[in-house]
Amino acid sequence: MSLSDVTPEHALALTDFAVELAVDSLRPEAAVVPADTSRVSPAVSRAMSKFQNALHGLQDRKAPSPARGTAQAAAVENPFAGYDRAGFRRLAQELNANSLFMCKLRDREIIPTTMTDGFRQFVAAKMAVPLEAVTAHFSAPAPMIPHGQFHKSDQKPEAGRQQTFKEAVENSNLTDEQQQYLLSL
């Protein structure tokens, strides 16, 4: 099957499916664990154990203590983090949007000052979270690309620039009706 065989009515569904596959591949629970570890050499096993211990030690040091940082961590908590794939799709339907637009919201790719108050209130109501939580999430800095990460390109990947709310709505493969609805909020 080639791209020329795809009808316009299926193109949007295929795009949404591709976005979902990409999103799922970035989730931590998508890590592959070998089913048969009996063939792992003792040297590899020791190296893996040493790496896991070092990683655990680093994560413990970075975790905020309960006395300080709890309010700050709660203020920038991602309200989208608790959604599985089905819940994410349901929320997209409730917001009259698609997965691509939802990913832009979740990943803070939209300039928060360009979102209307009505839209933020609408999102908070549909997610059943306080408006302050949604506003704090959208206003937090966009996630950075980790340093020391390996990549195959000649240049280091860069985080994409944020879009205005209008640009995000217009560039997310939304229908004309969806665009008008979201921009009217």
Examine the pLDDT at 149 and tell me if it is beyond 70: no
| Whole-number pLDDT of residue 142 | 73
**Cβ burial 4-31 (10 Å sphere, 16+ → b, else e):** eeeeeeeeeeeebeebbeebeeeeeeee
| Whole-number pLDDT of residue 20 | 73
Q: What is the pTM of this model?
A: 0.57
| Whole-number pLDDT of residue 71 | 44
Average pLDDT over residues 93-120: 94
Examine the pLDDT at 123 and tell me if it is beyond 60: yes
CA 178 to chain CA centroid, nearest Å = 21
